Structure 1
């Protein structure tokens, strides 16, 4: 609760938190706000925006409701972004904690694995993985996480290398605490805040990567996404630009909200460390 209060006191954090809260509410209430399958044909094709009260933002080439697509696309984008960030942070924490705490050959071996993953651009890695394995939401999440975990791993390792030399860690060794217990109880909680601040950046990058994959036709074909909606309007951009503009605006708002939240979270965590 104290962290939330500190977060809401920063302008970036307050705006970002409001944006994400609204988006989360839309995602949770998507079946209520727009019941039914958003991929089903709902009306006449290519209805312009604000011309029919039943379709405030118009319809696409197949007669699907644009509002329904944006609402359900919110759920997909947040699900992919949060799930990919959780997976990347979990892998990164495990690898970074093990490498930093164990040191020696284990540290060298794990860091060479991190280097190998960082050589390949994350988007190209996700693109290749989805192309080979197939397109579905879990596969897209895994593909994005595979390209995102090295940065949390490096950051965690750096934090662990600094923390494990401190007096309270040495005291834990003296009283006979097991190394695993020291790593999990004494080192991990103190190494976590900077990694959590990085997680918001990973969420934003994951949302953009998912949109790009869907735009290229590599998203889940059974799920509506903002990227696929933008791609749908690409071929008729001159006659019906709204088909790409509205999901594009939703994507921009979401990414900006996540980045603002990240800035606020960084300041809130820094403030808490100063108070401590």
Structure 2
């Protein structure tokens, strides 16, 4: 709670938190704001925006409500982005913690695994994985997490290597604390905050990756996404520009909000360090 208050206390953090809070509310209440299936036909094809009260953003080339697509796409993008980031952070923290605390051959083996995943660009890894395993939401989450966990793992290892030699850790060993107690009571709470500052970058990258996969047609066809909406709009980009503009603006707003919140978290963590 202290970190959250400090984050909101920064200008960037307050703006980012406001944007993300609004997007989360839209995602949670998407079925209330735009009831029914967003993939259903709602009106004449290619209805321009702001010409019909029941279709404020117009319709796409099949006559589907564009506002309903943008609103329900918010739920898809945020759920996939947050789930992928949570999986990547959890796995990366565990690997980095194990490598940094164990040292020796365990550290060497785990770091070579990290190097192997960092060699391949995250988007290409996700693209290959989805192409082979399918395009369901769970597969996309796993695919994005596979390309994002190496960064948190490497940073977590560096933090653990620095912390495990400090005096309070040595004091814990002297009084008879076991390895698990040292890890979870002394090392992890102090090593985790800098790693958490990466979460905003990972969430933003995950949402962009999901949109890119959807744009290429590698997403669940029964779920509306911003990427698939922009992909459909590119075929009529000159005559119906709004089909790509509105989901693109939603994607841009989301990424900016996450970036600003991440900047606020970084500043809050910096203020909390000694001597800052």
Match of 2:118 in 1: 118
Cα deviation 1:212-252 (Å, max 9, x = unaligned)? 00000001111100000000101000100100010000000
Matched, 1:4 2:4: yes
Please show how residues 1-276 of structure 1 align to structure 2 within 5 Å: 1-274=1-274
Cα deviation 1:25-81 (Å, max 9, x = unaligned)? 100111110111111111111100001000000000111100000000000110011
Cα deviation 1:151-193 (Å, max 9, x = unaligned)? 0000000000000000111111111111122111110111110
Shift of 1:2: 2.3
Provide the rounded CA distance (Å) in 2 between the counterparts of 1:2 and 1:129: 39
Provide the rounded CA distance (Å) in 1 between the counterparts of 2:145 and 2:48: 38
- What is the TM-score with the length of structure 2 in the denominator? 0.98
Cα deviation 1:111-132 (Å, max 9, x = unaligned)? 0000000010000000000000
Provide the rounded CA distance (Å) in 2 between the counterparts of 1:30 and 1:37: 11
Provide the rounded CA distance (Å) in 2 between the counterparts of 1:84 and 1:185: 27
Shift of 1:272: 1.9
Provide the rounded CA distance (Å) in 2 between the counterparts of 1:242 and 1:199: 32
Shift of 1:275: 7.7
Count residues in correspondence: 276
Provide the rounded CA distance (Å) in 1 between the counterparts of 2:101 and 2:5: 33
Provide the rounded CA distance (Å) in 1 between the counterparts of 2:233 and 2:254: 20
Shift of 1:4: 2.2
For the aligned residue pairs, the C-alpha RMSD in angstroms reads: 1.0
Provide the rounded CA distance (Å) in 2 between the counterparts of 1:100 and 1:2: 28
For structure 2, which runs of at least 5 residues remain unmatched after alignment? none
For structure 1, which runs of at least 5 residues remain unmatched after alignment? none
Shift of 1:274: 3.4
Provide the rounded CA distance (Å) in 1 between the counterparts of 2:264 and 2:236: 39
Provide the rounded CA distance (Å) in 1 between the counterparts of 2:43 and 2:19: 31
Which segments of structure 1 move beyond 4 Å, counting only runs of 4 or more? none
Provide the rounded CA distance (Å) in 2 between the counterparts of 1:139 and 1:19: 28
Provide the rounded CA distance (Å) in 2 between the counterparts of 1:224 and 1:150: 30
Provide the rounded CA distance (Å) in 2 between the counterparts of 1:227 and 1:269: 34
Shift of 1:13: 0.6
Provide the rounded CA distance (Å) in 2 between the counterparts of 1:104 and 1:13: 40
